[in-house]
Structure 1
Amino acid sequence: MAKTHFTVTVPSIPGHVGGSITCTEPAPQVYLLTLNSPPDNRLTPPMCAALLEALDRVEFGGLLPGGTPEGVLVTTSAIPKFYSNGLDLQLAMSTPGFTENSLYPLFRRFLTFPMPTIALINGHCFAGGLMLAMHHDYRVFSGGDRGYMAVNELEFGAPLLPPMAGIFREKLRPDVYRELALEARRFGGKEALAAGIVDALGGLGAGDDGEGVLKLVREKGLVAKGKMGVYGMLKQEMYRGQVALLDARGQDVVKAPALMEAEKKRKHEGALKVKAKL
Structure 2
Amino acid sequence: MIISSRPPVKSSSAGAMCTLEKRGSIFYLTLTGEDEHCLNPLLIGSIRSVLAQVKSQTTRGSVLITSAHGKFFSNGIDLRYAMAAGSYQAAKDRIMYMVDIFKSLVADFISLPMPTIAALTGHAAGCGLLLAMSHDYITMRSEKAVLYMSELDLGSSLPDCYTSLTVMFRSKLGSPSARRALLLRAAKVRGKEALEMGIVDSVHGNEEETMKAAKGLGEELAKKKWEGNVYAEIRKALYPDLCRILGLKNLEVLPSRI
TM range (shorter): 0.7 to 0.9
Shift of residue 247, structure 1, vs aligned partner: 3.0
In structure 2, what is the equivalent of residue 74 of structure 1?
Answer: 65
Counterparts of 1:157 and 1:205 in 2: how far apart (Å)? 32
Match of 1:231 in 2: 231
Matches within 5 A, 1:29-108: 29-60=25-56, 62=57, 64=58, 68=59, 70-79=61-70, 81-89=71-79, 91=82, 93-95=92-94, 97-100=97-100, 102-108=101-107
SS of 2:19 mapped into structure 1 = strand
Larger radius of gyration: 1
Q: Cα distance, 1:206 vs. partner?
A: 8.0
CA distance in 2, matches of 1:238, 1:200: 21
Normalised to the residue count of structure 1, the TM-score between the two structures is 0.75
Work out whether residues 21 and 34 of structure 1, in 8 Å CA contact, stay in contact via their aligned partners in 2.
yes
Measured in 1, the distance between the counterparts of 2:75 and 2:63 equals 24
Of structures 1 and 2, the one scoring higher in RCO (CA 8 A, sep 6+) is: 2
* Residue 19 (structure 1) aligned to one of 12, 16, 20: 16
Number of positions where the alignment pairs a residue of Structure 1 with one of Structure 2: 233
Alignment identity in percent? Answer: 30
Q: Could you say which residue in structure 2 is the equivalent of 1:180? A: 182
SS in 1 for 2:28: strand
Change in Cα spacing, 1:20 to 1:69, as seen in structure 2 (3 Å) is farther
- Deviation per CA, 1:72-121, whole angstroms, max 9, x where unpaired? 10110022x11110012361733263322x11100111122110011101
Other structure's SS at 1:175 match: helix
| Aligned AA (2:93) | S
The SS at the match of 1:224 is: coil
1:147 aligns with 2:145: yes
How far does residue 38 in structure 1 lie from its aligned partner after superposition?
A: 4.5
* Pair 1:224–1:204, CA change in 2 (3 A): farther
Of 133-142 and 154-163, the range deviating more from structure 2: 154-163
- Residues 110 and 135, structure 1, Cα contact 8 Å, conserved in 2: yes
For 1:169, the equivalent position in structure 2 comes to 170
In structure 1, what residue type is equivalent to 2:67?
T
RMSD: 2.6
**What residue identity is the alignment partner of 2:238?**
M
Mark the CA change 1:140 to 1:228 in structure 2 (over 3 Å): closer, same or farther.
closer
Structure 2: unaligned runs, 5 residues or longer: 83-90, 249-258
Change (3 A) 1:116 1:231: same
